[in-house]
Amino acid sequence: MCRPLTDLDRHLAEAAARFGTPCYVYATDLVEERLAHLRAHLGRWFAVSFAVKSNPNPALLDWMRGRLDCLDISSGGELALAQEAGWDAERISFTGPAKRDAELRAATQAGLGELVLESLREARLADAIAGELGRVQPVLVRLAPARVPKGFGDQMAGRPSPFGVDVEEAAEILPQIAALPNLKIIGLHIYSGTQCLKPEAICENWRIFMQVFADTCAALDLRPEKLIFGAGLGIPYHPGDSALDLAAIAAEIGPELDAFAARFSATRLVLELGRYLVGPAGWFVTRVVSVKQSRGSRIAICDGGLNANLAASGNFGMVLRRNYVMHRVGGDEDGARPEERQDISGPLCTSIDKLGGGVALPRLEEGDLIAIHACGAYGPTASPLHFISHPMPAELLLTGGQMRDVTRIRGG
């Protein structure tokens, strides 16, 4: 006799039955737990800003409105989504290396909290627009440190980069920005690396931040209202990955943060992050359409692939492809489904549409559901949804055991 489904599998099966597959399920209760854990260990120093690019679903952003301090957007489109979700523009910052005239104008007109400047060219454009609108726009200057410690999945500094002002040029560029009459520098911003699971690397990176912030503020005689620390906090995606130990980070760098916060006692320190909060709180559910044997391999072919979840296919930011953690919804049915190595493919006519290679799962059959973990960030909006015109994945919000359809991108 089969055991009853776990609570998670019951919700995932319900999602597939009610809304179809492929689909994403985002559990806000888990996001809340992760936020509480973050604040318990780092909240004595930092406010929390959510990077909208990691998951811009308006229903999720609306849920976050009373729980997070601020948002960071990276486009005019994300500004519109944040406002649709009820966020006040004054609680939003705007990063991104290629902001266009229309985006800057809309953000300035809306009363954007902070414009994060990535270059002198951008500063001059923003100044001209603010002048036309009769406004003085608060800005943060993004700085690119000369070094990023080893251990980050992606680096946005320490080498040629489109992001921010290189620290080597800051002494020349920042005074020119400060002289622009329609901008007001209220602080600084650094986001130099992401997806790190090593506490010592996080701490070393934040030490670099604090030194750059202190040196730059001294050189400019700047008394900042806000300093943004790009978190870089990673999540475990793959079998064998360990969750990041926030307690170890707080223990190692806490005294230095205490001293820094005392030195900048009138400054709000903000931790900017995205996937750390929402990544582990989401699952991608896809159904096996067909199973075949091919040259000694068992292949389960699913209704959702890289078109619906590019990250899980290994084609979004991975140098070497590694399987995400995944499971068969319903488990092994008390041993009736012995575990074996299987390949998991999507529905597309390309050999790169592969969600897993040699994955150890209970033997998969047509109609089975597979749940891929850590899919709450960089899901639908980071995927080529229209490629080969398959159905769009549903997005479902699970709160307190209740599920609702919050799909933003529809087919057509």
Q: Round to whole Å and give the CA distance between 395 and 151.
A: 32
**Which residues contact residue 133 at a Cβ distance below 8 angstroms, ignoring those fewer than 6 apart?**
105, 108, 109
> Which amino acid belongs to residue 213?
F
Q: Round to whole Å and give the CA distance between 408 and 31.
A: 20
How many other C-beta atoms can be found within 10 angstroms of the C-beta atom of residue 14? 15
> Which amino acid belongs to residue 234?
G
- 168 burial (CB, 10 Å; 0-12 / 13-18 / 19+) is exposed
Q: Round to whole Å and give the CA distance between 186 and 199.
A: 30
Q: Round to whole Å and give the CA distance between 135 and 120.
A: 19
> Which amino acid belongs to residue 190?
I
* Beta-bridge partner residues of 25: 283, 396
In 3D space, the residue among 99, 110, 168 whose CA is nearest the CA of residue 138 turns out to be 110
* Residues carrying an active site annotation: 349
Extract the runs of DSSP E, i.e. beta strands, from 52-105.
70-73, 92-94
Q: Does residue 362 sit in helix, strand or coil?
A: strand
- 2 burial (CB, 10 Å; 0-12 / 13-18 / 19+) is exposed
Provide the CA 272 distance to its chain's centre, in angstroms: 10
